[in-house]
């Protein structure tokens, strides 16, 4: 059965683009929805024949009201999976519960380090030697759900925010399509609040978290 995927964005949508371009067998990008009419990624989605919609959070008096309209728009596309790709809104517990087990996010840090905003600057300030990105299931605690996959990049002596974020973003574009593919292939198991990726058909096994070589020029 083809699995419908709805992707939520707030801005340029480069992770959404990476997922669309990866053309995952058995998956159909049913819609790209933004909370801002000026989200750059909407144009890419429309050019690729994907349904787009805008649900502007500023039009609603409360988070609850916004999330209810957003969920109605998402559900009209009958999603098997909802993918947050740079969607910069905190979601209500009701919304998260409605999509339990089928709502994933990418965060630009090695969670549980550096939840929240400005992750690259904070990593530089902390002097960490490795940084990266995490794909995780969304729970009602911000940036806290079960981790599906992480990519690690070295922090170099002469890094600044721009260089480090570019190196992390390149890895985001690798691991997010990979995580979506695992979901579509039904290879992700949630067990005791932790996510495991199974090898096809042979039951849960530990997944590895590879150290990624820095191939950014
Ligand atoms: C990405 O780096 C993503 O990890 C981050 O926003 C960027 C969106 O870029 N998400 C968060 O910070 C969520 N807490 P994109 O629009 O080009 O995909």
Q: With a 6 A CB cut-off, is 15 part of the ligand 1 pocket?
A: yes
pLDDT tens-place string over residues 68-80: 999 999 999 999 9
Tell me the average pLDDT of the chain.
92
Q: With a 6 A CB cut-off, is 169 part of the ligand 1 pocket?
A: yes
CA of 202 to the centre of ligand 1 (A): 33
Query: pLDDT tier at 200 (50, 70, 90 boundaries)?
Result: low
57-64's contacts with Cβ under 8 Å and 24+ in sequence apart are 57/89, 63/90, 63/91, 63/92, 64/92, 64/94
Q: With a 6 A CB cut-off, is 172 part of the ligand 1 pocket?
A: yes
Superfamily of domain 107-217: Formyl transferase, N-terminal domain (3.40.50.170)
Ligand 1 pocket: which of 33, 87, 106 to mutate (most atoms within 8 A of CB): 106
Q: Which two tokens stand for residue 46?
A: 């429309």
Rounded distance between C-alpha atoms, residue 111 and residue 196, angstroms: 16
**Can you give the residue ranges of every domain in the chain?**
1-99, 107-217
State pTM to two decimals. Answer: 0.93
DSSP state of 211: B
CATH 1.10.3720.10 for domain 1-99: no
pLDDT given at position 210: 40
CA of 8 to the centre of ligand 1 (A): 11
Q: What positions carry a catalytic annotation?
A: 107
Rounded distance between C-alpha atoms, residue 145 and residue 143, angstroms: 6
pLDDT tens-place string over residues 101-160: 999 999 999 999 999 999 999 999 999 999 999 999 999 888 899 999 999 999 999 999
Q: Which ligand 1 atom is the nearest neighbour of the CA of 17?
A: 18
CA of 2 to the centre of ligand 1 (A): 27
Q: How many CB atoms lie within 10 A of CB 21?
A: 11
């Amino acid at each position: 059965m083809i699995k419908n995927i709805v992707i939520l964005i707030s801005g340029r949508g480069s992770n959404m683009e990476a997922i669309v371009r990866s053309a995952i067998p058995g998956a159909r990008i049913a819609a790209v929805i933004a909370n801002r009419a000026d989200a750059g990624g909407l144009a890419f989605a429309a050019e690729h024949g994907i349904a787009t919609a805008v649900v502007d959070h500023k039009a609603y008096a409360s988070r609850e009201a916004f999330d209810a309209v957003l969920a109605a728009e998402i559900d009209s596309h009958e999603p098997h999976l909802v993918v947050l790709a740079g969607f910069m809104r905190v979601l209500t517990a009701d919304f998260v519960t409605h999509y339990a087990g089928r709502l994933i996010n990418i965060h630009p840090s090695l969670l549980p380090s550096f939840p929240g905003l400005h992750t690259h600057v904070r990593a530089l300030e902390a002097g960490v030697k490795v940084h990266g990105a995490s794909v995780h299931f969304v729970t009602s605690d911000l940036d806290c759900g079960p981790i599906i996959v992480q990519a690690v990049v070295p922090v170099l002596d002469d890094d600044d925010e721009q260089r480090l974020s570019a190196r992390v973003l390149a890895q985001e574009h690798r691991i997010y399509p990979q995580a979506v593919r695992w979901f579509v292939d039904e290879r992700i198991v949630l067990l005791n609040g932790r996510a495991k990726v199974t090898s096809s058909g042979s039951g849960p096994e530990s997944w590895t978290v590879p150290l990624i070589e820095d191939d950014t020029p």
